[in-house]
Chain A
Amino acid sequence: MVHRTVRVALLAALLAVVAGCGIPRDPESTLDRVRGGTLRAGITASEPWTTLEGGRPGGVEVELVERFATELGARVEWVDGSEADLIGALEMRELDLVVGGLTADTPWQAKAAITRSYATTRVVVAVPSSQPVPDDIAGLRVAVESGTDAAGILEDKTDAIAVRVPDVTQVKGSAVAIEEWLLADLSLRDTGVHLSKSKHVMATPMGENAFLVRLERFLIAHQGEVPALLDAAEAS
């Protein structure tokens, strides 16, 4: 009797797999509504991922969202606000998507469905390419952007001497703690000391799984373009 129950359950599961196209579905039909319509996206500025220069949305994530909307035949309606406001609106399904340099360790996990990360960035300690890579950064004076977690990590977790500066891209000829993707542009070389890692994500409404999975498929297909988008964002 027990066998039969299990077998029926397995068969049901199998049938579900066979009928699997169109699965998962959205409880509140977000994907269907957005397709050919409007994608309501929330944005909060976080360079270079999102920018709001002169009130105009720009940056890597804005570019990705615009392309995603194009794929769905939708136009994007941007709303800017604080992360808390935007996530609140997302929770009530007044927005379909929120971007703003969110990372996988975001504290909004309980209020929003977070996508897989589509890009990973690191803050590394680098030296100018003209200089030899030191064996050890102990005692080395390293420039680090003030008011960042990297500054704290450099101070507390390494033996280097942290020198806080307003803009690390303006340091020439010394060791700096800097985003790994900037190394080539600034002719810097990685010392192998990595201070922090950020996995970049976007937020969607809770449980709208068809929409979430569609967005993730798009991000997986386009994650290779992120470095180029980052360079473009830096150049502008």
Chain B
Amino acid sequence: MTHHELPPDKHELLKKAVRLEWLTIAYLLSAVVLLYFALGSSQAMKAAWAEDILSLLPPIAFLIASRVRRKQPNSKFPYGYHRVTSIAFLCASAALLALGSFVLYDSVMKLVKFEHPPIDLVKPFGDSPIWLGWLMLPALAWSALPAVFLGRAKQPLAKELHDKVLFADAEMNRADWLTAGAAMFGVVGIGFGLWWADGVAATIISLDITHDGYKNLKVAVADLMDKEPTIVDHSRPDPLPLWVRNELMLMDWVKDAEVRLREEGHVFVGEAFVVPVDNDDLVGRIARANEHLLDLDWRLHELVIAAVPEIRRPEPAGEEG
């Protein structure tokens, strides 16, 4: 099936991203099962386990979105299905924030109540009993190491594809060593009789989950509010609207121009307002300009150029966001 959003050279990258996300899901499931069997009564283990389960959400959101969004616009959905990415992202971040807060509350309460976590013996290999804490460490290592490599592999793809869900997912994977490291600290702490180490580790992990949720929720809401487009890591505004405006200003029939674009999933759509010097061949000029501008960047998906008598520019925003 062809993909009407992406240029041909990006198709391969998308396929690779989809493969990596399937691999991520398979790997995360293995980590979730492994951690489940080593959970014990450690709150830090529970938090790490919750994070691994929640880490499943962004890849699932990505895979669902990558299927739905390639549908062509139709009479019921005349703007197409690009936004499905943002909606998937919103749901995943809301879940992350809600569950992260719950685990955070639980962890802090365990510290406040001076709860001493008990960890006992297990007999996984025939007859020799072993302290469950020792099994937690390799399980945690498995929950972190491959994730870090998957995250590193996905991040450049996210940038190439201008995909924020994939980017957020890669960031979460890359930060997994923090979770595993904190949980290991908690487990080793319990081993040395430091009962609070577990609660502290769990608090750190749940803060990390909550922070991820909050950060991503902010981005998802801003996207759905049609905030000015940013580059994929949200560090600065995307220069594309400026490029489009400059191209328009460089056309000899344009006296003044203003461009506003919004992100719909990974593509940009929007309007350009132009004040023409005269009305000669206006339809032809606009059609040629449109064709030229859509060639600027693959992400510019749809542009409506309107000829107007004068331009009203939006107020500059304050610092709030």
Contact = CB atoms under 8 A, between A and B. Distances in A.
Interface string A198-209: 000000111111
Contacts of A207: 115-118, 190, 195
Contact of A220 (B129, B181, B195): B129
B188 A6 contact: no
B129 A217 contact: yes
A210 B137 CA distance: 18
A84 interface: no
A87 to B, nearest CB: 14
A216 B121 contact: yes
Contacts of B131: 23-24, 209, 213
A9 B180 CA distance: 9
Contacts of A6: 141, 144-145, 148, 177, 180-181
A116 interface: yes
A208 B120 contact: no
A220 B141 contact: no
Contacts of B134: 17, 20
B191 interface: yes
Interface string B135-175: 00100010011001000100000000000000000000010
Interface in A110-155: 113-116
A15 B192 CA distance: 13
Contacts of B129: 216-217, 220
Interface string B100-119: 00000000000000011111
Contacts of A5: 177, 181
Interface residues of A, number: 33
A27 interface: yes
Contacts of A115: 120
Contacts of B237: none
A25 interface: yes
B180 A209 contact: no
B133 interface: yes
A208 B131 CA distance: 13
B88 interface: no
Interface in A1-36: 2-3, 5-6, 9-10, 12-13, 16-17, 20, 23-28
A144 B177 CA distance: 57
Interface in B182-220: 184, 188, 190-195
A216 B148 contact: no
Contact of A16 (B120, B141, B191, B195): B191
A27 B114 CA distance: 11
A28 B122 CA distance: 23
B188 A16 contact: yes
A61 B320 CA distance: 67
Contacts of B184: 9, 12-13
A86 interface: no
A114 B119 CA distance: 10
A97 B181 CA distance: 34
Contacts of B192: 23-25
Contacts of A3: 148
Interface string A93-123: 0000000000000000000011110000000
Interface of B: 41, 115-123, 129, 131, 133-134, 137, 141, 144-145, 148, 152, 174, 177, 180-181, 184, 188, 190-195
Given A23-B192, A208-B118, 15 more contacts: A2-B152, A12-B188, A13-B137, A23-B133, A24-B131, A25-B192, A113-B41, A116-B121, A116-B122, A207-B190, A209-B120, A209-B193, A213-B120, A216-B121, A216-B129
21 contacts: A2-B174, A2-B177, A6-B177, A12-B184, A16-B188, A23-B133, A24-B131, A24-B191, A24-B192, A25-B192, A27-B116, A27-B193, A113-B41, A113-B120, A116-B120, A116-B121, A206-B116, A207-B195, A212-B118, A212-B120, A220-B123
Interface of A: 2-3, 5-6, 9-10, 12-13, 16-17, 20, 23-28, 113-116, 204-210, 212-213, 216-217, 220
